[in-house]
Chain A
C-alpha cells in the first residue's frame, strides 16, 4: 500500500482536463508473482529500451537526469515515461554532482528515486554517490559503462565499476538485455527492504548491450511493482514526521573524539552488514548470486557482464572440440558471492577471468575470495579495454596457453 497522500491535482500543462497518468491505470501486483508467475512476452529490443520497459513497470516517483553517451537514450526515454505519467516527477539536473546529490535528496524524502549515468558522469558524481550508503538512501543508479577519460573515448569498458566496489553500494552486473530488464526491477525492491536500505547500481556494458538488440521477455505493461513505502526503512525519511534522528543531532558525533570514531566505525560496519543481508532478497528475484555452467570442470571461466556471453561461446566451442570448460557468471558484484564461488570452483585446476577493463577488478575480487580455498591457478585475463571487443578466439587462445606447463602470462 502506498503511504503517499491521495490528492486530485490539476492536469499538467498541455494535457486535457480528464488526463489520467498512465501509471495510475497500471495494476500494482505482488513482486513474487510479477517476477516468477506473470505471463511474459518476448520482444527483440536494445538494452536501453529494456531499461525503459523496466522503469515503466517500476513505479518510480522521481527520476533526475543528465545526458551522457551511451546513457542518454534511457534517461530521455524516462522523460517520455514521465510525460505519459509512468513517473511522477522528472527533471534534468545541472550536472552529475548536482544530480547525484539531488537523487539522494529525493530518496531521503522517502520516494522511489532513479538516475542513470556512464563513466565520466559517474566519476564526476562520485563524492555524492559514495555518500549514499552512509546516508542510507535506497535508490537505483543505472550505469551504462564506458571508458573514463583520457584520452577521450566513448567506447565500452567497465573500469568505472572498480570505483564503486568499496562504497557500500549494492551492485549488479547485467550480462545482456534480459538481465538489464530484470535486475533493474529487482534493484528497486531489494534496495528498499528495511534491513537493507541501501542504494543499488545496475551496471551494463555500454553499446554492446545498451545499443544492441536482444530478446527480452517482459510482463505486460499493465502491471507495476508496489510503490516505495517511505515509512519502511532503516532510518527515518527526512520528512519531519519523526522526531529528529539522533545521527544528525548528537554533538559528540560531530567532534573528533572517541565517541565519533566509534559512531562512524559502527555505522560503516552496519552499512557493509546490510550489503550482505541483501543477498537473500536478490535470491528472491534473480535467483542465486552466481550461475554455474558445467560444475566440477577442471577449467573454469569466471566472468560478469557481457564477458559472460563471450565465455558461454568459448564453453560451447570447447565442448565441440571435446573439452569440458566450466563457467561461473557473477550476477551480484556486491554483495560478492564469496561462499558460492568457493563451492563452484572446488574441482577447478585452472581459472580464467576475462574482463572488459584494464585494472582487472574482477580478478582482484576473485583472488581475494579464493585465497586459501583453492589449489587452482588463476589467470589474470584476458582483458580488453578502450572499446575493444573480446573475441571468443581470445578466450580460447588463453585457455590453450594456460594448459602449457609454462604459460606466457604471469600470475
Chain B
C-alpha cells in the first residue's frame, strides 16, 4: 500500500476522526525507522481499542506483534474464530476471518496469489490464531503448510484452552487439567507443537511469553523476515486466559513470569540458512 492510499483527499481531512488522522500522520507505516516498543505512547499504534477481557494477556501480545511487523503497510493477517480475532480485526491492517481452522490453507492460497500479483513487492502474510484453531481443528492445514514450506508466519496464541467458547480443553492444554469437556482431567499431554514444527522443517521457530515486550517485537520481526525470504516461521506464545484459568487480573503478568520460568522459557530454533539470513539483516540494521 502506498501512503497515498491512506491519506485523505484535501478537504476531507477536517472531517475525519482524530484517530484516523493520527494513523496517517503518526502511525508506523512507511517509516524509515520503525517505532519501537520503547516508543509506545509516542506513536499511533495499529491496534488500540479492543473488546477483549480486561487484563487478557493475549491482547498485550497481539498489540506487541503489530509493533514488531517490519512492514505493516504490506502485511495481511489471516485469523479465525477465537478470542484473538476480536482484537486483530480492529487493527488497521487487512484481516481475513475465515472458517474456524482454515487459516493455514487460506494463507497458503493468499500468499501464492500475492506472489503472482506483486513479484517486486514482498507481501507479508501472518496467521494469528488460537491453540485450538491451529493444533486441533486446523492441525492438518497447519502441518501441511509447513511440509510445503509455505512462506508465511504462523503465530499460535496459546492460552491452553478454548477461550472463546467458554473454557474447554484443547490439544495444548496440559495433562490432567480439569476444564470443560475434560471433567476428569485431560488424558493426553500438551501437544508438542514446537517439536512438530521442527520435524516439519520450519525455518524459524520460537517459544515466547509476553514478559519482555521488546523481545516479542523482535521475535515477530525475525519470523516475518525469515518467512519472506527463506521458509515457514512459527511463533508459539503463551497468552494466558485469565478468565478460564481464574487468574486475578492484577496477577496476569506474574503468571506469565511464573509459567515462563517453569515451562515456557524463551527459545528459538532457527535453521542454518535462516540464521545466516538474519545475521546479514541484523548487521545491516545495526549500521543504520
Residues of A within 8 A of B (CB): 3-5, 7, 9, 61-62, 64, 88-89, 91, 93-95, 97-99, 101-111, 113, 127-128, 131, 135, 230, 237-245, 248-249, 251, 254-255
Q: Out of A7, A61, A255, which one reaches B113, CB within 8 Å? A: A61
A109 contacts B114, C-beta separation under 8 Å: yes
Closest Cβ of chain B to A133, distance in Å, is 13
B120 at the interface (CB under 8 A from A): yes
- Say yes or no: A239-B117 contact (C-beta < 8 A), given A101-B102, A104-B98: yes
B63 at the interface (CB under 8 A from A): no
The proximity string for B residues 101-142 relative to A, scoring 1 for CB distances below 8 Å and 0 otherwise, is 010011111111111111111010000000000000000110
B95 at the interface (CB under 8 A from A): yes
A108 contacts B116, C-beta separation under 8 Å: no
Instruction: Count how many pairs of residues, one from A and one from B, have CB atoms less than 8 Å apart in the complex.
Output: 159
B269 at the interface (CB under 8 A from A): no
Expressed in whole angstroms, the Cα–Cα distance for A249 and B88 within the complex equals: 9
B116 contacts A244, C-beta separation under 8 Å: no
8 further contact pairs, Cβ within 8 A, besides A4-B119, A239-B117? A61-B116, A93-B108, A93-B144, A109-B109, A109-B116, A111-B117, A135-B98, A243-B92
Which single residue of chain B is at the shortest CB-CB distance from A4?
Answer: B117
- Please, could you name 13 A-B residue pairs with CB atoms under 8 Å apart, sorted by A? A5-B117, A5-B121, A62-B112, A91-B112, A94-B144, A97-B102, A102-B105, A110-B117, A238-B94, A238-B110, A243-B92, A248-B95, A254-B86
Expressed in whole angstroms, the Cα–Cα distance for A135 and B95 within the complex equals: 12
B253 at the interface (CB under 8 A from A): no
Expressed in whole angstroms, the Cα–Cα distance for A251 and B47 within the complex equals: 13
Q: Out of A64, A107, A248, which one reaches B97, CB within 8 Å? A: A248
**Chain A contacts of B95 at CB under 8 A?**
244, 248-249
B106 contacts A101, C-beta separation under 8 Å: yes
Closest Cβ of chain B to A162, distance in Å, is 21
Which single residue of chain B is at the shortest CB-CB distance from A103?
Answer: B109
A131 contacts B105, C-beta separation under 8 Å: no
B252 at the interface (CB under 8 A from A): no
Which single residue of chain A is at the shortest CB-CB distance from B120?
Answer: A5
- Say yes or no: A111-B105 contact (C-beta < 8 A), given A240-B75, A241-B1: no
Closest Cβ of chain A to B250, distance in Å, is 26
Expressed in whole angstroms, the Cα–Cα distance for A237 and B2 within the complex equals: 15
B5 at the interface (CB under 8 A from A): yes
Closest Cβ of chain A to B49, distance in Å, is 8
- From residue 196 to 228 of chain B, which have CB atoms closer than 8 A to chain A? none
Expressed in whole angstroms, the Cα–Cα distance for A301 and B123 within the complex equals: 54
Expressed in whole angstroms, the Cα–Cα distance for A251 and B110 within the complex equals: 24
Closest Cβ of chain B to A245, distance in Å, is 7
B6 at the interface (CB under 8 A from A): yes
Question: Per DSSP, are chain A's interface residues mostly helix, strand or loop, or mixed?
Answer: loop
Closest Cβ of chain A to B77, distance in Å, is 9
B141 contacts A241, C-beta separation under 8 Å: no
In the complex, the 7 A-B pairs of residues with the closest C-beta atoms, listed nearest first: A109-B113, A105-B109, A102-B109, A101-B105, A106-B109, A94-B144, A105-B110
Expressed in whole angstroms, the Cα–Cα distance for A237 and B5 within the complex equals: 14
Q: Out of A109, A113, A127, which one reaches B99, CB within 8 Å? A: A127
Interface residues on B, range: 35 or more
Expressed in whole angstroms, the Cα–Cα distance for A93 and B119 within the complex equals: 22
Which single residue of chain B is at the shortest CB-CB distance from A64?
Answer: B109
B148 at the interface (CB under 8 A from A): yes
Expressed in whole angstroms, the Cα–Cα distance for A102 and B111 within the complex equals: 9
B113 contacts A9, C-beta separation under 8 Å: no
B51 contacts A251, C-beta separation under 8 Å: yes
Q: Out of A95, A127, A254, A255, which one reaches B140, CB within 8 Å? A: A95
Closest Cβ of chain B to A99, distance in Å, is 7
Expressed in whole angstroms, the Cα–Cα distance for A99 and B108 within the complex equals: 10
Expressed in whole angstroms, the Cα–Cα distance for A128 and B99 within the complex equals: 7
Expressed in whole angstroms, the Cα–Cα distance for A306 and B117 within the complex equals: 38
**Chain B contacts of A107 at CB under 8 A?**
109, 113
Expressed in whole angstroms, the Cα–Cα distance for A375 and B64 within the complex equals: 69
B108 contacts A105, C-beta separation under 8 Å: yes
- Say yes or no: A102-B108 contact (C-beta < 8 A), given A107-B113, A128-B102, A248-B94: yes
A239 contacts B118, C-beta separation under 8 Å: yes
**Chain B contacts of A111 at CB under 8 A?**
113, 116-117
A241 contacts B148, C-beta separation under 8 Å: no
B96 at the interface (CB under 8 A from A): yes
Which single residue of chain B is at the shortest CB-CB distance from A102?
Answer: B109
B45 at the interface (CB under 8 A from A): no
B116 contacts A4, C-beta separation under 8 Å: yes
**Chain A contacts of B85 at CB under 8 A?**
254
Which single residue of chain B is at the shortest CB-CB distance from A88?
Answer: B116
Expressed in whole angstroms, the Cα–Cα distance for A244 and B46 within the complex equals: 11
Closest Cβ of chain B to A238, distance in Å, is 5
- From residue 141 to 175 of chain B, which have CB atoms closer than 8 A to chain A? 141, 144, 148
B90 contacts A89, C-beta separation under 8 Å: no
**Chain B contacts of A239 at CB under 8 A?**
76, 94, 114, 117-118, 123
